[in-house]
A and B are shown apart, each in its own frame.
Chain A
């Protein structure tokens, strides 16, 4: 029977035909036309540039498109992904190395479809899956702002992507699976602030890029929208059900936190959230308030609540060692009588999100890296303890402080997380 079919010339012809159609389809899918270069436009109104500056800030463009010590928006920041290392590109209006020859339609195509002016596919680390949901007006304003800044000559660094992800046209298949969603329409049942908040979170702010878990090929798992992800070795906590946790967030707390303040009961943004919150602090307060309103309206999934309490008898040696370490390394700022608590708002550690989290990771990362001093930014500054405390000391300190915050629930991941962090740092 099979032999009969295999010999059938009709079958072979059909297979060949399908193959040719598939090939043409693939080529069509993976080929995009260039858009003609233009002279760098000018003559935008001041009002448009001011609006554009806000959009660029809300979109966190500079957070990735500026490398430490580099020119504003001239790119060069390495982004380490599971698929290799990418370098952000120059989005200043330099004709050769930036986007100076891009027309508005070319810019809009990049923002909505992830295609560069010359037709090559951009990697989805550039969050066009979110930017495509932005309004036409915001995209045009951002374009005006970007085109009006100083042009910086800064050629793109060579990406170091692993096979097969180093073949850009393959992104076409990724897009086929994950590129959908249209510009957002307001939900008339909800307040204006709620709608603004949702727009900022899902559009320019692209919060889900870090705060949603990613699947095996680096796309956000939409079924777990904003339920927590990871970035640069930090945990990006879940943003759903924030008002219903053991240490719940109030709207005022979240508003302050989003604007990089130190918030009693939670702490202050550290790690990759710090530059994001500094961006938000430069926007009108109404924007962070809108984000707070939207996020606190998101209800958590009905999970089997928290893990079983493991009523923790912290062993005496760890308690003593942790208490001594706290006294010598932390109490100057975080101790009950510390002047830094009175005059500069340093939080009591037992009331921080990091010590209430299910995993010790963000606490350990904060102690290891601190909050670096940024020239031109008022702080707060926390020293990095990576070179001051060894892993044994860190573990004792973490266990001791966790016991203060959650006596009913020890961290069970301490040694494995410390080991993972040690390997990351090498």
Chain B
């Protein structure tokens, strides 16, 4: 075990962890942040996607040891039930969730795209989101929701 301080959603969290523990377990089991989901554990589905600095990463494959000093953001950082962020609002408007298991990952990957490129076209959205899967098949609504934010004036942040 070693002492690792993770900066999650703006607050420093000192934790006692095995250094090779994937970030996903630290978030869920140690910090109670259950937004990011365990899907395949192989980086093939995207349900565990969070943002590290400005990049989307698969939390299930990212060891905690290298994350000190980096800015980790999870879906809990985008807004709350009472006060959802713009992208979350768009997902609600378009009813983009069916079972909802993939949605936290979808939101975080889309968020990282919109921060870098506030007005992507649909083709760009489709290519960027290709790494995140939805078994229910709500991809079309998810794309609609992302487009709703992409098409508005001004930037996301």
Q: Is the CB of A382 within 8 A of B61?
A: no
Contacting residue for B42 out of A327, A333, A375, A390, CB 8 A: A333
A388 in the interface, Cβ–Cβ < 8 Å? yes
Decide yes or no: A387 and B22 within 8 Å by CB, A329-B62, A373-B130, A382-B43 being known contacts: no
B93 within 8 A of A: no
CB distance from A270 to the nearest CB of B (A): 15
Query: Which residues does A use to contact B, with CB under 8 Å?
Result: 68-69, 324-325, 327-329, 332-333, 340, 372-375, 381-383, 385-390, 392-393
Determine whether the beta carbon of B131 is less than 8 Å from that of A388.
no
Contact with A along B57-72 (1 / 0, CB 8 A): 1101111011000000
User: Do B121 and A389 touch across chains, with their CB atoms under 8 A apart?
Assistant: no
B44 close to A (CB within 8 Å): yes
List 5 interface pairs A-B (beta carbons < 8 Å), by A numbering.
A328-B20, A332-B61, A372-B130, A375-B127, A383-B44
B53 and A387 contacting across the interface, CB-CB below 8 Å: yes
Q: How far is the CA of A101 from the CA of B75 in the complex (A)?
A: 53
Given contacts A332-B41, A383-B131, 8 further A-B contacts (CB under 8 A): A69-B124, A375-B126, A382-B43, A388-B58, A388-B61, A388-B62, A388-B63, A392-B66
B127 in contact with A328 (CB, 8 Å): no
* A324→B20 contact, CB < 8 A: yes
Task: Given A375-B126, A388-B58, A393-B63, answer yes or no on A325-B20 (Cβ-Cβ < 8 Å).
Answer: yes
Chain A residues whose C-beta falls within 8 Å of the C-beta of B121 in the assembled complex: 69
Q: Across the two chains, which residue of chain B brings its CB closest to A338?
A: B42
Task: Name A370's closest neighbour in chain B (CB-CB).
Answer: B43
Nearest residue (CB) in B for A69 is B123
Query: Are A386 and B55 interface neighbours, CB within 8 A?
Result: yes
Given contacts A386-B55, A392-B66, contact A68 B127 (CB under 8 A): yes
Total CB contacts across the A-B interface at under 8 A: 69
Minimal beta-carbon separation of B54 from chain A (angstroms): 9
Contact partners of A383 in chain B: CB under 8 A: 43-44, 58, 61, 131
Does B52 make an interface contact (CB < 8 A)?
Answer: yes
A325 CB contact (under 8 Å) in B56, B57, B63, B127: B63
Residues of chain A lying within 8 A (CB to CB) of residue B131 = 372-373, 381, 383
For A392, what are the chain B residues with a Cβ–Cβ distance below 8 Å?
66
User: How many residues on the B side are at the interface (Cβ–Cβ under 8 A)?
Assistant: 28
CB-defined contacts of B126 to chain A, threshold 8 Å = 375
Compute how far the CA of A324 lies from the CA of B40 in the bound complex, rounded to whole angstroms.
Answer: 20
A-B interface, 4 closest residue pairs, ranked by CB to CB distance from nearest: A383-B43, A387-B55, A324-B20, A373-B130
**C-alpha spacing A328/B19, complex, angstroms:** 10
How many whole Å from A261's CB to the nearest CB in chain B?
A: 18
A387 to B42, CA, bound (A): 16
Nearest-CB residue, chain B, relative to A387: B55
Contact present for A387 and B61 (CB under 8 Å) = no
Closest to B43 in A: A383
Residues on B with beta carbons closer than 8 Å to the beta carbon of A374: 127, 130
Partner of A332, one of B21, B42, B65: B42
Contact B52 A388 (CB under 8 A): yes
Complex: A340 Cα to B40 Cα, angstroms: 11
Whether A329 pairs with B53 at a CB distance below 8 angstroms is no
Q: Which residues of B contact A386 (CB under 8 A)?
A: 55
Tell whether A332 pairs with B130 under 8 Å between CB atoms, given A385-B61, A386-B55, A393-B66. Answer: no
Contact A328 B130 (CB under 8 A): no
State in angstroms the CA–CA spacing of A375 and B139 once bound together: 13
Residue of A nearest to B25 (CB): A328
Q: Chain B residues with Cβ under 8 A from A387's Cβ?
A: 52-53, 55-57, 62
Q: How far is the CA of A375 from the CA of B66 in the complex (A)?
A: 31
Q: Which residues of A contact B19 (CB under 8 A)?
A: 324
Q: Which residues of chain A are within 8 angstroms of B57 by Cβ–Cβ distance?
A: 387-388
Query: Which of A375, A385, A388: most chain B CB closer than 10 A?
Result: A388
Contact at A390–B66, with CB atoms within 8 Å? yes
Q: In the bound complex, do residue B130 and residue A375 qualify as a contact, i.e. CB atoms below 8 Å apart? A: yes
Scan B129-147; emit 1 where CB is below 8 A from any A CB, else 0. 0110000000000000000
Q: Which of B56, B60, B63, B124 contacts A389 (CB 8 A)?
A: B63
**Whole-angstrom CA separation of A378 from B60 in the bound complex:** 22
Taking the closest CB of chain A, its distance from the CB of B19, in whole angstroms, is: 7
Q: Say yes or no: A393 contacts B130, CB within 8 Å.
A: no
In the complex, which residues of chain B have a beta carbon less than 8 angstroms from the beta carbon of A329? Answer: 22, 61-63
